[in-house]
Amino acid sequence: MTHPALAPGKTAVITGGASGIGLAVARRMAALGMNIVIADLGADRIAAAVDEIATVAGAGRVEGAETDVSDPAALSTLEARVARDLGGTDVLMNNAAIQSGSAMFGPLDIWERVMAVNLWGVVHGSRIFGPGMVARGGPGLIVNTGSKQGITTPPGDPAYNMAKAGVKVFTEALAHEMRGSAPQIGVHLLIPGFVWTGLTRGDRTEKPAAAWTAEETADFMMESLERGDFYILCPDNDVPRALDEKRIAWAAGDIIENRPALSRWHPDHVDAFKAFVERN
């Protein structure tokens, strides 16, 4: 069954909603007759997204709001606006993220900005919108966008991995809190695979065969919400769920087996990991 918060007349606030996964989810929710609030940066980008979503058949009201999710005051202003103009928030998707690329001893400002948007944006959004959603008393949803990089933490972009690992831990704690105090508010962690978006495009002009589209990811998310999945672990065209499960199990096994950190990429354990993956 469709979650009761995903219904005509309900209101969804989607950060990072002007492009990529956020925009694709906005389309899906607008098609259900919901009101959509696109929160992002860049007035032109937001206006284009609002115009696009407004053309979706059956869409309710569609609004845009230029919002820096790293700024709690900006999110408080947005929450108050949605409460005033649309009666309150039923679905919150904390999806805004950046991926600037980071190095362990690289510029500190990159680390600080990634943490401010990717982690604190999720924390601020949940803490600022959550109490009002609870107070309304009806069904609601909070979906936080994490990453597989926050679970298996591959080398190469430590700031991004650290932020997304924090999103996972925070969302697990939020889900536990709501389960006890406000079970009508469902909390979910979206864990995308390789998705073709502006965040992952880089210098490429064509979608790699391995990547899913943002639309495929949005469809998978909506289906997972209907099932009530907390961990929305998305496959892609290259990595099926079975391989994800083995990678995650191996990463946890580093602690249990007392292996070196990130042993999957350690020369002494490469063959053992390969054998582990190939084992039935």
Question: What pLDDT sits at residue 118?
Answer: 98
Between strands 140-145 and 212-213, the pairing is: unpaired
**At 148, is the pLDDT very low, low, confident or very high (cuts 50, 70, 90)?**
very high
Residue 3 lies in a domain: no
Residue 265 lies in a domain: yes
Residues 173 and 268 in one domain: no
Question: What pLDDT sits at residue 214?
Answer: 97
CA 239 vs. chain centroid, Å, equals: 19
Instruction: Give the bridge partners for 36, in sequence order.
Output: 12, 62
**At 280, is the pLDDT very low, low, confident or very high (cuts 50, 70, 90)?**
low
Residue 150 lies in a domain: yes
Residues 71 and 103 in one domain: yes
Percent pLDDT > 90 in the chain is 94
**At 197, is the pLDDT very low, low, confident or very high (cuts 50, 70, 90)?**
confident
Place of tokens 């597989």: 148
* Span 56-85, average pLDDT: 98
* 32-67 burial: b if 16+ Cβ within 10 Å, else e: bbbbbbbbbbeeebbebbbebbeebeebbebbbbbb
How many domains is the chain built from?
A: 2
153: tokens are: 């933490």
Residues 128 and 265 in one domain: no
Instruction: Give the bridge partners for 92, in sequence order.
Output: 13, 142
Residue 141: strand, helix, or coil: strand
pLDDT in tens, 115-130: 999 999 999 999 999 9
* Span 201-210, average pLDDT: 82
**At 205, is the pLDDT very low, low, confident or very high (cuts 50, 70, 90)?**
confident
* Span 182-194, average pLDDT: 97
Burial class of residue 262 (count of CB atoms within 10 Å of its CB; 0-12, 13-18, 19+) = middle
Residue 163 lies in a domain: yes
The catalytic residue among 120, 160, 212, 250 is 160
**At 2, is the pLDDT very low, low, confident or very high (cuts 50, 70, 90)?**
confident
Residues 56 and 134 in one domain: yes
Judged against a pLDDT cut of 90, whether residue 201 lies above it is answered with no
Question: Which domain, by its residues, includes 260?
Answer: 240-280
Question: What pLDDT sits at residue 37?
Answer: 98
pLDDT in tens, 72-112: 999 999 999 999 999 999 999 999 999 989 999 999 999 99
CA–CA gap between residue 190 and residue 230 (Å, rounded): 8
CA–CA gap between residue 192 and residue 221 (Å, rounded): 9
Residues 42 and 161 in one domain: yes
CA–CA gap between residue 139 and residue 187 (Å, rounded): 11
Residue 2 lies in a domain: no
CA–CA gap between residue 79 and residue 164 (Å, rounded): 24
Active site (annotated) includes residue 160:
yes
Residues 266 and 175 in one domain: no
